[in-house]
Amino acid sequence: MPGPPNKKQKRQDYRQALKENGTTNMPKKKFYRQRAHANPFSDHRLTYPVRPDAMDWSTFFPAFTEAETETSSPKKLTKDIEVVDIGCGFGGLLVALSPVMPDTLLVGMEIRSQVAEFVQDRIKALRAKDPEQNSYQNIACLRANTMKFLPNFFRKGQLSKLFICFPDPHFKQRKHKARIVSTTLNSEYAYALRPGGIVYTITDVENLHEWMVQHFEAHPSFERVPEEEQDADPCVEVMRTETEEGKKVERNKGQKFVALYRRMKDPEW
């Protein structure tokens, strides 16, 4: 006789039942657990468009999809995605920002497959709870590796905000090349952000905070947002308090280091 199902089988059975039943209950994290670290240089067998116009966002934002026409392939959205949460984790920031920015489309990009699936199921459940109000229709989660494919998804100057919340610190020096902030990656963020757009960074690791500050301040396309303006930004308070990592740091009475950087206008050459 077969023995009792193992943890992997329990997770699969739970998630399959969640999909079949269409329940409005929130998914349980214990059935989506995955190791905290993922190697961004590995082949994760990801699907990505060859260019931004080839991406079909209609399944992620059905409430913002244009009426189907014979010539629209892929289906177009009625407005552009403007906010990206890189490494969105379990989606706390997305869910909290949704009612704060109800007329803006936000997408979380997460490399870990099971964590991305949790956020997707979480959004489906939130939408199903209150279908008449169209709540949480403006957020979505996509499994993606932003270190490799960010320009495949977004046009030049498309984004107004980009969040980097509690990224993997990669403490060992030989692992620093895997940090989500670097000279090369900052140029990609500058490409995707419009002039005046903001990069939001937060971490509980002071060394990593100093690293991000150093690299953004050295980049000619960014200038640091003054503290008075930073503290007045409502997104900063949400970023401090609503992410899962932020709540854990709060429980442990740790420090949070915040820095915002504005995309400057390109010179006239």
pLDDT of the residue at 32: 76
pLDDT of the residue at 42: 77
Beta strands, E only, 144-212: 159-165, 193-203
Do the domain assignments include residue 23? Answer: no
- Distance (Å, whole) CA 254 – CA 203: 10
216, 103, 167, 59: CA torsion to nearest 10: -120
With 0-12 CB in 10 A as exposed, 13-18 as middle and 19+ as buried, what is 20? exposed
- Distance (Å, whole) CA 75 – CA 91: 25
Do the domain assignments include residue 63? Answer: no
Tell me the mean pLDDT per 10 residues along the chain, length 269.
Answer: 60 63 72 71 84 95 82 83 96 96 96 92 90 88 94 97 95 91 96 98 97 96 97 95 93 96 90
**Structure-block tokens of residue 172:** 């060992």
Beta strands, E only, the chain: 81-86, 105-110, 139-143, 159-165, 193-203, 222-224, 257-263
Domain harbouring 156, CATH code: 3.40.50.150
Do the domain assignments include residue 38? Answer: no
3-state secondary structure of 164: strand
Do the domain assignments include residue 269? Answer: no
pLDDT of the residue at 27: 84
- Distance (Å, whole) CA 187 – CA 177: 15
- Distance (Å, whole) CA 43 – CA 26: 31
pLDDT of the residue at 184: 92
pLDDT of the residue at 130: 79
DSSP at 136? T
pLDDT of the residue at 257: 97
Do the domain assignments include residue 164? Answer: yes
* Catalytic-labelled residue, pool 53, 80, 121, 168: 168
**Is 168 assigned a catalytic role?**
yes
pLDDT of the residue at 75: 86
pLDDT of the residue at 211: 96
pLDDT of the residue at 29: 73
Q: What angle do CA 251, 253, 259 make, to 5 degrees?
A: 105
Do the domain assignments include residue 79? Answer: yes
The phi and psi torsions of 85 (rounded to 5 degrees) equal -110, 105
Do the domain assignments include residue 218? Answer: yes
Which residues, including other chains, have CB under 8 Å from residue 238's CB and lie 6 or more apart?
93, 96, 97, 100
Do the domain assignments include residue 14? Answer: no
Residue 80 is part of which domain span? 72-263
Total number of domains constituting the chain: 1
